[in-house]
Amino acid sequence: MSSAVGQRLRGSREKKGISIEEAAAFTKIQHTTLEAIEAGRIGQTLAPTYARIFVKKYADYLGLDGDAIAKEYGLTPEAAPAVSVETAPVPEKVPAAVTGWQWLLPGVIALIGLIAMGTIGRAVLGRMSRPVTAPVGIQRDGAPASAPAANASNKPLLVKPGRELQLTITAVSDVWMRVKSDGRVLFQNVLKKGAKESWTARDEFEIWTGNASGMRVTLNGRDLGAPGRGVIKNLKVTRRGVELP
């Protein structure tokens, strides 16, 4: 089963025109590990937990369902082994009873731990209570700028209604991507460094990329910069600019 799934992964990579070295560079997984995955023998070289992580990440990079592929590969999440009282290590010597102020030490340590946990809990709750933010533009360094999601629909239009959207992507480095226009796939391949491609759409573009920092986006002549870093799925370019998922 694992060898058949590995062949599917290799076939998907080759169909997209991606070399094993390019896949390794984008996923940060060593090419020898990717070769083991495609050969169906990753379980022989890595522990199941790590093998599953790499198989899922590689499948996601190729545009497949990482969880489903890992399951077909025979790799499922493993629960941490329980430690029973019978198997727990027992000290050879029991320490002598503490005297004087030493009996306070465990309580002091526990108190410090509770204070730290309370501080962390308040910080987490404070972060959870903040409004969710959504990108509304691109900074000069290529990182997405954010604003409250409620204001995402209020972004100013970069392209007036009725006008055709014209998208141009320039590859700053080799970048694999899939571009859809109004639900139709227009491009799915590696765009080599220095190359440029342009497309048109009525309402929006949808982009899946393995290296967001390796591209620059131009919409109707307006340079929007790089849409971010790393792998990004369901990145959209609309009349309001770049909208990250």
Which strands sit side by side in the sheet containing 232-238, from one edge to the other? Answer: 184-191, 175-181, 205-209, 232-238, 241-243
One pLDDT digit (tens) per residue for the chain, 245 residues: 678 888 889 999 899 999 989 999 999 999 899 998 999 888 777 888 888 899 999 999 999 998 888 888 887 765 333 333 333 444 444 444 444 555 556 666 777 776 777 666 666 555 555 544 444 444 434 444 443 434 455 678 888 888 899 999 999 999 888 999 877 889 989 899 999 999 999 889 999 898 889 899 999 998 999 988 888 888 899 988 998 88
Specify the pLDDT at position 150.
Answer: 40
Residue 106: φ, ψ to 5°: -60, -40
Specify the pLDDT at position 28.
Answer: 92
Closest by CA to 226, choosing from 204, 211, 205, 208, is: 211
Fold of 2-72: 434 Repressor (Amino-terminal Domain) (1.10.260)
Closest by CA to 63, choosing from 177, 214, 173, is: 177
Specify the pLDDT at position 108.
Answer: 64
Specify the pLDDT at position 121.
Answer: 61
Measured CA distances, 21 to 24, 34, 57, 189, 213 (Å): 5, 9, 16, 15, 18
Helix, strand, coil % in the chain, rounded to nearest 5: 40, 25, 35
| Residue range(s) in the chain whose domain bears CATH number 1.10.260.40 | 2-72
